Amino acid sequence: MAFVTRFAPSPTGYLHRGHAYAALTAYTAAQNAGGRFLLRIEDIDVTRSRPEYDAAILEDLTWLGLSWEEPVRRQSEHLGDYHAAIEALRARGLVYRCFKTRKEIDIGRAPHEPAVPYVGAPLPPDEEAERLDRGEAFAWRLSLAAAREALGGFETLTLIEEGAGPNGETGLIQARPETAGDIVLARKDVGVAYHLAVVHDDALQGVTHVIRGCDLFEAAHIQRLLQALLDLPTPTYRHHGLLVGPDGKRYAKRDKAQTLRELRASGVTATALREELGFS
């Protein structure tokens, strides 16, 4: 069977050790399976993505010894695809305009309380028309209620996890898209949200195995729902553990000293880093 996987970073900062581990995990899996490895630049969030980070990703991964198929897909070049997918969902009554701000949604929530998943409904047509006339900003949200009705329930939404979620979830998993509430599929400032673009591109690029950090395990539940609604295939998932630093904390974009460029500048070789991460 064909094996296609990908590394899909967002160019919102320099790659660090954690990214190197994730990229090497996917790359090595493709090699071991005699499969294909793709690099996808997830730059739909124009408020946070920067071209210099995009260029640095290619440079850092090349330094690390990785190669990938060309051309690299850049999501910002395909916004029309994602809008068409949202439009298809809209035509079926699966998404609605939400004019609420995060602040309004969070009214009454104490700062220490976790954000409650938002579940709403479309506004009455005249009120919606009025707000649109006034030029008020809105987000497109996926209606869980409409999705449930369209699919006759969520029971058939299962996925295969070959790795593990953060709590050891593995094997055949029942997707729980309802825990996220009515997710935002598009915002005014960021035309498309991450989930829709990922699901669209994984299907378009024929990705058979989604190999990524287990911080994205919950995302798979939502993505599984979108696959069902858009009639797209479900890849096999392989979430891996996250690399942690000596302090027991996972690496993040703010750990400047751990970026691949800094490591390289301080004399660390790609071979040494690969070995340290368990890839020789």
Binding site for ligand GLU (CB under 6 A): 8-10, 42, 198, 212, 216
For residues 13 and 43, the answer to whether their CB atoms sit within 8 Å is: no
Between 21 and 96, whose beta carbon lies closer to ligand GLU?
21
Q: Is-contact 36 30, C-beta < 8 A?
A: yes
φ, ψ at 25 (rounded to 5°): -65, -45
- Shortest distance (Å) from residue 50 CB to ligand GLU: 14
b (16+ CB within 10 A) / e for 263-280: bbeeeeebeebbeebebe
In one-letter notation, the amino acid at residue 190 is V
DSSP secondary structure letter of residue 206: T
CB of 165 to ligand GLU, least distance (A): 14
- In the complex, least distance from residue 73 CB atom to ligand GLU, rounded to whole angstroms: 12
Q: Which residue's CB is nearer to ligand GLU, number 214 or number 273? A: 214
Closer of 143 and 223 to ligand GLU (Cβ): 223
CB of 197 to ligand GLU, least distance (A): 9
Q: Which is nearer to ligand GLU, 10 or 25 (CB)?
A: 10
Cβ closest to ligand GLU, residue 212 vs residue 221: 212
Residue 233 Cβ vs ligand GLU, minimum distance, rounded to whole Å:
15
Phi, psi of 128 (to 5 degrees): -60, -45
Least separation in angstroms between residue 68's CB and ligand GLU is 14
| Contacts of residue 178, Cβ cutoff 8 Å, sequence gap at least 6 | 117, 144, 154
Please, is 37 exposed, middle or buried when counting C-beta atoms within 10 Å of its C-beta (0-12, 13-18, 19+)?
buried
At 280, list the tokens. 């020789």
Given the complex with ligand GLU, which of 98 and 197 has the nearer CB atom? 197
CB-CB neighbours of 67 under 10 Å: 10
The helix (H) or strand (E) run that includes residue 186 is: strand 184-186
Smallest gap from Cβ 8 to ligand GLU, in A, equals 4
Looking only at the bridges linking them, the beta strands covering 184-186 and 139-142 are antiparallel
User: Which of 97, 212 has the CB closer to ligand GLU?
Assistant: 212
